């Protein structure tokens, strides 16, 4: 069977081995970015909760910590299947944390922003 020319050309420049190699490193890179995103959102949420005098999130940190433990296995994963499962174990908790923080703190964020705005206004003598 013959594939179209441009498919064959693309195919000649890439192999499954190269795919696995680059997937590992790309996976590591976007997972690190994800970790920073989730960490910053937990921090932001806790800052907002501090201002409106609510107790901070702690369990989210524990879940985030669990996903950090999986990170070294990403580089060591021997095949694409295991890499996918690892990525699943890392990103599903991340998405759940993000969705939980955003839904649980909707009112907190609004109250916090209002308070920050009023504090800044007072400071500026308005």
Partner 1 sequence: MDMLRDIAGTEAREMRILFIELCGVFWIVAELVILFFVIEARRHLGRSPISAVPLWDRVSTRRALLFMLFALAALGAVVLRPLFWTPLSWRIQTGPLDVSAAAMLDFHAVLRHLTVWAAFVTVWVILEGAMVYQGYSAYRLFRKLVLAGGGGATRNSAGKTVGISPDGSSGGQGGQASLVVLLLLGAFLAAGIVAAPVFAAQALNAPAAKAVDSWEQVVQLSENGLYPYRNALYLYLRIAGVVWIGVEWIAAFVLWRAWRVVDHALRNGGGAS
Cβ atoms of 42 and 97 closer than 8 Å: yes
CB of 91 to partner 1, least distance (A): 7
SS3 letters across the chain: CCCCHHHHHHHHCCCHHHHHHHHHHHHHHHHHHHHHHHHHHHHHHHHHHHHCCCCCCCHHHHHHHHHHHHHHHHHHCCCHHHHHHHHHHHHHHHHHHHHHHHHHCHHHHHHHHHHHHHHHHHHCCC
For position 89 contacting partner 1 by CB under 8 A, the verdict is: no
Q: Is 52 in the site for partner 1 (CB under 8 A)?
A: yes
3 vs 76, beta carbon nearer partner 1: 3
Q: Which of 72, 75, 76, 118 binds partner 1 (CB under 8 A)?
A: 118
Binding of partner 1 at residue 82 (CB under 8 A)? no
Residues that bind partner 1 (CB under 8 A): 1-4, 7-8, 10-16, 18-19, 22-23, 26, 29-30, 33-34, 36-37, 40-41, 43-44, 47-48, 50-53, 84, 88, 91-92, 95-96, 98-99, 102-103, 106-107, 109-111, 113-121, 123-124, 126
């Amino acid at each position: 069977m013959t594939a179209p020319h441009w498919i064959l050309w693309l195919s000649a420049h890439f192999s499954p081995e190269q795919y696995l190699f680059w997937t590992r490193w790309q996976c590591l890179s976007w997972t690190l970015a994800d970790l920073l995103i989730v960490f910053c959102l937990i921090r932001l949420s806790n800052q907002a909760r501090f201002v409106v005098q609510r107790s901070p999130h702690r369990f989210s940190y524990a879940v985030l910590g669990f996903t950090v433990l999986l990170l070294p296995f990403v580089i060591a994963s021997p095949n694409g299947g295991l890499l996918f499962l690892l990525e699943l174990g890392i990103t599903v908790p991340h998405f759940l944390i993000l969705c939980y923080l955003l839904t649980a703190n909707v009112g907190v964020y609004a109250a916090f922003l209002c308070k920050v705005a009023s504090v800044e206004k007072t400071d500026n003598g308005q």
